[in-house]
C-alpha cells in the first residue's frame, strides 16, 4: 500500500484560525501524525524537536508529566505556559498555581500549537505564551473506527492506547483509554496510570455546533528521590529513598458552542472546569545524603483544585482586504486548598496525616480563593496588499487570596523544641491592569514573511510562592508579582516546498523575577536552604532558527515514494541579571538558560517504511541565580550547582504493512549518555534527578 509522505513535520498557524488571531506572532505547530517518534512514552525531546529554544526536564514517569520551558523559563510542569487542551485550561489554577500535572497522551494528539510570549493578549498573561494540545477529531468518513496501540519498552514498561471514533448523521465522537505501567530505570520508581477522554459534537444546524468533553486522569508513582553530586557520579541510577510517593487524580470538563452568524462573523463560547487533587508524600531532608529510615516522619503535601470558567470570543472580518477584529472575555474562579504536615512513618502510599505529631517542622492548612476577570481585543489592520498591523489590549482583574494557618517550630542544637507557635493568616491581593501589544507583518510573497511583535507579560505570585515549604526551601513573605515584556523580530516562509524556515531574534525583560538563592536558615545549626524570593530584573536575548530542507525535492526530484528531510533547530541565548538588591546576583546568568540549545535531525522514508534520527545538544545551565558551579565531590546537598552539558541521540522507525497494521520501534539515548536535567528542591527530590539511560521500545498499531 502506497502512501503520500508529507513534506514537513511542522507548520505555522495562519493569520486567522477559528476564532483566534495569530498574525505577526511567533507560532509553531507540531504535526503529530507525521512524526516518527516514541509517542507511547511522550518523549519530550522528540515531540518538541522542531520547536526552537525549548528546554525540558527529562523525567522518570513514562511521560505522564510534561516539563517544558524556554527563553529562561523554568520547565517545571510547564508552569510558565498557559497550558490548554482543545483551547481550554487544564492546569491546576491558571493564576494561583499554573502547573500542569496532566499531559494529554501523544497518541491522541493531532497537533501541538506553541505561541510565544505575545500570546498573552488572547490567552493569558504568562511569559511563555500558549501551549495548546489539539486532540484528534471524530473520523468523518466512518461510523466506527477502532485503533489499538500496544507498546512494550525497557524497564518492564507496557502501555495500551485504544480509541473509538466516528460520525453518524450530525453526531461525531472521539474517545480513548490509555493505560501505562513500568518499573522505571531506578529502584523505587514504578508507576501506573489510567487516562480516559471522551468528545461528542453535534451539528445543530449549518451555522451552529455544540460539543462536550470529559477527561479523567489518575496515576500513582513511586519516587526514587534525588542524589548528591558524589552519589550521582558514583552510581547515577541509585535510589536512596524507598518511601516517597506521588498521586494525581485529574478530572476536566468542557462544553462549547460555535455559531457562525455570517460568512465573516462568528462567536465561540466555552465553559470549562477542573476537579482534581495531587498528593506528595516522602522523606525529603535538606541534606540529601541523610539516610532514610523506617520510623522517620514523611512530609505530606496535599492540594485539591476546584475551578471553573467561561471564555467567549467574537470575531468579525470586515473591509475589502479582510481586516479582522476580535473581542473576548473570560471569567474564572477557583476555590483550592493546600495542606502540609506530618505523614505516616510507613513505607507505602498512605496519604493520611499523622494527627498526633504536633512538633513536625512544616505544618500549614490553607484555602486559596481566586477570581479573575479578563477582557481582550486584537485587530488585524491591512495596509496595502502586504502589510498587516496587529494592535492588541488585555485588561485583567485578579483577586488571589490565602486564608489559613501555619506552624513555626524551632529547635536548639540538641534537637529540643524551643519555639512552637501557630500563626493565622488571611491575605487577599487585588489588582487590575492593562497589557498592551503590537505586531507587524509584511508578506510580499508566499515564500517570505517579515514579522515583529512586542507584548507585555505578567505572572502572579502562586500558592507555592506564598506558603508551601520543605526542608530545602523557604519562602520570602514579601514576595511580589513578576512583570515584563516579550518581543520577537524575524523572517519565515516556505520556498517552493524546498525549504521551510523561521529565523528570529527575541528579547525578554523580566522584572521582579522569582528564583531561589542560598541562605542560612534561621534557628537551625549549619543548615542551608534555598530561599524563594524576588531576585531582581533579568534580560534574556537570543537568536532562534528552524530550517528544514526537503531533500527529496531538492535532490531526488520529488520522488513520490521517498521522504528525505534534514532540519537544524538552533537557539543561541544570552542571559543576565541586570539589577538586583541581593549581593552577588547582578551580572550572573539566568537559571535554565543554556547558551546553546541545538537539535538536528534526519527524517527519511521509502513507501511504507519511515524513520527519524535526532541529535540533541544542551550546553551547561545554572539552576539558581547565584550561579553555583558543580562540585562533583559534594555529598551533602545535591541542590546546589549547575546542569552539565549533555548530548543525546535518538532513532525511531515505523513500517505499515497495510491499512490495518503498523509496527513502530526505536532506541532512545542510543549512546547511553549519563546526564541529568534537574536539581529538585522538593518533589521529586531533593537533589539531582537522573535522566534515563538507553531504552528500547516496540509498538504494534491495529486499525479497523
The answer to whether position 3 is within a domain reads no
- Pick 361 or 79 by higher pLDDT: 79
pLDDT at residue number 279: 97
DSSP codes, 459-528: EPPPHHHHT--BTTEEE-TT---EEEEEEEEEEEEEETTTEEEEEEEEEEEEEEEEEEEEEEPTTSTT-E
CATH number at residue 143: 2.40.170.20
| Mean pLDDT within 267-281 | 97
- Pick 77 or 500 by higher pLDDT: 500
pLDDT at residue number 525: 41
pLDDT at residue number 524: 44
**Number of domains, the chain:** 1
pLDDT digits (tens, 9 = 90+) for 203-254: 999 999 999 999 999 999 999 999 999 999 999 999 999 999 999 999 999 9
The answer to whether position 487 is within a domain reads yes
pLDDT digits (tens, 9 = 90+) for 370-391: 999 999 999 999 998 899 999 9
pLDDT at residue number 407: 85
The answer to whether position 286 is within a domain reads yes
What's the mean pLDDT when you consider all of the chain?
92
Q: Tell whether the model's pLDDT for residue 59 goes beyond 80.
A: no
The answer to whether position 4 is within a domain reads no
Which helix (H) or strand (E) is 122 found in, with range? Answer: helix 120-123
User: What does DSSP assign to residue 78?
Assistant: G
| Mean pLDDT within 448-455 | 96
pLDDT at residue number 136: 97
pLDDT digits (tens, 9 = 90+) for 521-541: 554 444 556 677 899 999 999
Which set of grid coordinates corresponds to residue 32?
503529530
- The CA distance from 688 to 96, in Å, is 27
The answer to whether position 240 is within a domain reads yes
pLDDT digits (tens, 9 = 90+) for 124-177: 888 999 999 999 999 999 999 999 999 999 999 999 999 999 999 999 999 999
The answer to whether position 508 is within a domain reads yes
Which range has the worst mean pLDDT, 56-65, 598-607, 615-624, 650-659? 56-65
pLDDT at residue number 362: 82
- Pick 126 or 415 by higher pLDDT: 126
Q: Tell whether the model's pLDDT for residue 412 goes beyond 80.
A: no
Kindly report the pTM of this predicted structure.
Answer: 0.95
- Pseudo-torsion of CA 88, 92, 95, 99, nearest 10°? -100
Which range has the worst mean pLDDT, 291-295, 420-424, 657-661? 291-295
Q: Tell whether the model's pLDDT for residue 185 goes beyond 60.
A: yes
Q: Tell whether the model's pLDDT for residue 4 goes beyond 70.
A: no
Calculate what percentage of the chain has a pLDDT beyond 70: 96
pLDDT digits (tens, 9 = 90+) for 610-643: 999 999 999 999 998 989 899 999 998 898 899 9
**Using a CB cutoff of 8 Å and minimum separation of 24, what contacts does 565-568 make?**
565/7, 565/8, 565/9, 565/602, 565/603, 565/604, 566/600, 566/601, 566/602, 566/603, 567/9, 567/50, 567/600, 567/601, 567/603, 568/598, 568/600
- In angstroms, what CA-CA distances link 637 with 134, 282, 450, 634, 688? 41, 17, 48, 7, 9
Q: Which residues contact 676 (CB under 8 A, 6 or more apart)?
A: 232, 236, 643, 688, 689, 690, 691
- Residue 222 structural domain: 10-349+359-703
The answer to whether position 485 is within a domain reads yes
The answer to whether position 499 is within a domain reads yes
Amino acid at each position: 500500500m502506497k502512501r503520500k509522505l508529507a513534506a514537513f513535520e511542522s507548520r505555522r498557524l495562519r493569520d486567522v484560525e477559528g476564532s483566534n488571531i495569530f498574525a505577526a506572532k511567533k507560532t509553531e505547530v507540531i504535526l503529530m501524525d507525521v512524526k516518527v517518534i516514541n509517542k507511547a512514552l511522550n518523549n519530550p525531546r522528540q515531540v518538541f524537536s522542531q520547536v526552537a529554544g525549548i528546554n525540558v526536564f527529562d523525567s522518570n514517569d513514562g511521560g505522564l508529566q510534561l516539563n517544558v520551558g524556554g527563553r529562561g523559563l523554568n520547565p517545571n510542569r510547564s508552569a510558565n505556559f498557559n497550558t490548554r487542551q482543545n483551547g481550554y485550561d487544564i492546569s491546576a489554577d491558571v493564576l494561583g498555581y499554573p502547573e500542569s500535572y496532566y499531559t494529554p497522551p501523544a497518541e491522541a494528539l493531532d497537533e501541538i500549537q506553541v505561541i510565544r510570549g505575545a500570546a498573552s493578549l488572547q490567552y493569558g498573561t504568562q511569559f511563555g505564551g500558549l501551549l495548546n494540545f489539539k486532540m484528534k477529531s471524530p473520523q468523518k468518513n466512518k461510523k466506527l473506527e477502532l485503533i489499538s496501540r500496544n507498546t512494550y519498552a525497557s524497564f518492564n514498561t507496557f502501555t495500551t492506547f485504544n480509541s473509538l471514533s466516528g460520525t453518524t448523521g450530525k453526531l461525531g465522537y472521539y474517545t480513548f483509554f490509555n493505560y501505562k505501567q513500568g518499573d522505571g530505570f531506578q529502584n523505587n520508581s514504578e508507576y501506573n496510570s489510567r487516562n480516559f477522554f471522551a468528545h461528542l459534537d453535534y451539528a445543530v444546524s449549518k451555522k451552529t455546533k455544540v460539543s462536550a468533553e470529559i477527561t479523567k486522569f489518575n496515576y500513582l508513582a513511586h519516587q526514587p528521590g534525588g542524589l548528591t553530586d558524589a552519589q550521582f557520579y558514583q552510581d547515577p541510577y541509585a535510589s536512596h529513598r524507598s518511601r516517597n510517593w506521588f498521586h494525581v487524580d485529574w478530572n476536566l470538563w468542557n462544553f462549547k458552542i460555535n455559531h457562525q452568524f455570517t460568512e465573516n462573523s462568528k462567536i465561540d463560547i466555552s465553559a470549562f472546569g477542573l476537579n482534581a487533587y495531587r498528593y506528595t508524600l516522602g522523606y525529603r531532608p535538606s541534606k540529601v545524603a541523610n539516610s532514610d529510615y523506617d520510623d522517620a516522619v514523611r512530609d505530606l503535601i496535599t492540594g485539591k483544585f476546584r475551578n471553573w470558567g467561561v471564555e467567549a470570543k467574537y470575531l468579525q472580518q470586515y473591509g475589502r482586504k479582510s481586516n479582522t477584529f476580535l473581542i473576548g472575555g473570560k471569567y474564572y474562579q477557583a476555590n483550592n486548598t493546600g495542606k502540609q504536615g506530618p505523614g505516616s512513618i510507613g513505607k507505602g502510599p498512605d496519604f493520611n496525616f499523622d494527627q498526633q505529631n504536633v512538633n513536625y517542622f512544616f505544618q500549614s492548612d490553607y484555602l486559596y480563593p481566586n477570581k479573575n476577570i479578563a477582557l481582550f481585543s486584537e485587530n488585524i489592520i491591512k495596509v496595502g496588499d502586504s502589510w498587516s498591523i496587529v494592535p492588541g489590549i488585555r485588561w485583567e482583574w485578579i483577586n488571589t487570596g490565602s486564608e489559613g494557618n501555619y506552624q513555626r517550630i524551632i529547635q536548639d542544637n540538641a534537637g529540643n523544641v524551643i519555639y512552637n507557635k501557630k500563626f493565622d493568616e488571611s491575605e487577599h491581593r487585588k489588582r487590575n491592569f492593562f497589557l498592551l501589544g503590537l505586531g507587524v507583518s509584511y508578506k510580499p510573497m508566499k515564500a517570505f514573511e517579515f514579522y515583529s511583535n512586542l507584548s507585555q507579560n505578567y505572572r502572579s505570585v502562586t500558592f507555592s510562592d506564598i506558603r508551601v515549604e520543605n526542608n530545602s526551601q523557604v519562602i520570602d513573605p514579601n514576595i511580589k508579582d513578576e512583570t515584563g515584556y516579550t518581543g520577537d523580530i524575524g523572517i519565515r516562509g516556505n520556498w517552493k516546498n524546498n525549504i521551510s524556515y523561521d529565523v528570529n531574534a527575541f528579547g525578554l525583560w523580566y522584572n521582579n523575577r522569582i528564583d531561589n538563592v542560598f541562605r542560612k536558615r534561621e534557628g537551625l545549626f549549619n543548615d542551608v536552604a534555598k530561599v524563594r524570593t524576588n531576585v531582581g530584573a533579568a534580560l534574556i536575548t537570543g537568536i532562534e532558527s528552524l530550517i528544514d530542507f526537503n531533500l527529496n525535492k531538492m535532490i531526488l526530484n520529488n520522488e513520490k515514494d521517498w521522504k528525505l528531510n534534514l532540519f537544524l533547530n538552533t537557539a543561541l541565548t544570552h542571559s543576565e541579571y541586570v539589577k538586583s538588591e541581593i549581593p552577588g546576583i547582578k551580572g550572573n546568568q539566568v537559571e535554565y538558560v543554556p547558551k546553546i540549545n541545538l537539535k538536528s535531525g534526519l527524517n527519511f522514508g521509502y513507501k511504507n517504511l519511515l524513520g527519524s534520527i535526532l541529535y540533541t545538544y544542551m550546553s551547561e545551565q545554572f539552576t539558581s541565580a547565584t550561579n553555583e558551579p558543580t562540585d562533583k565531590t559534594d555529598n551533602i546537598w545535591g541542590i546546589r550547582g549547575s546542569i552539565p552539558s549533555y548530548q543525546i541521540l535518538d532513532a525511531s522507525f515505523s513500517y505499515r504493512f497495510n491499512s490495518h497494521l503498523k509496527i513502530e520501534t526505536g532506541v532512545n539515548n542510543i549512546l547511553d549518555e549519563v546526564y541529568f536535567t534537574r536539581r529538585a528542591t522538593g518533589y521529586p527530590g531533593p537533589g539531582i534527578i537522573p535522566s534515563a539511560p538507553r531504552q528500547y521500545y516496540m509498538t504494534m498499531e491495529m486499525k479497523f
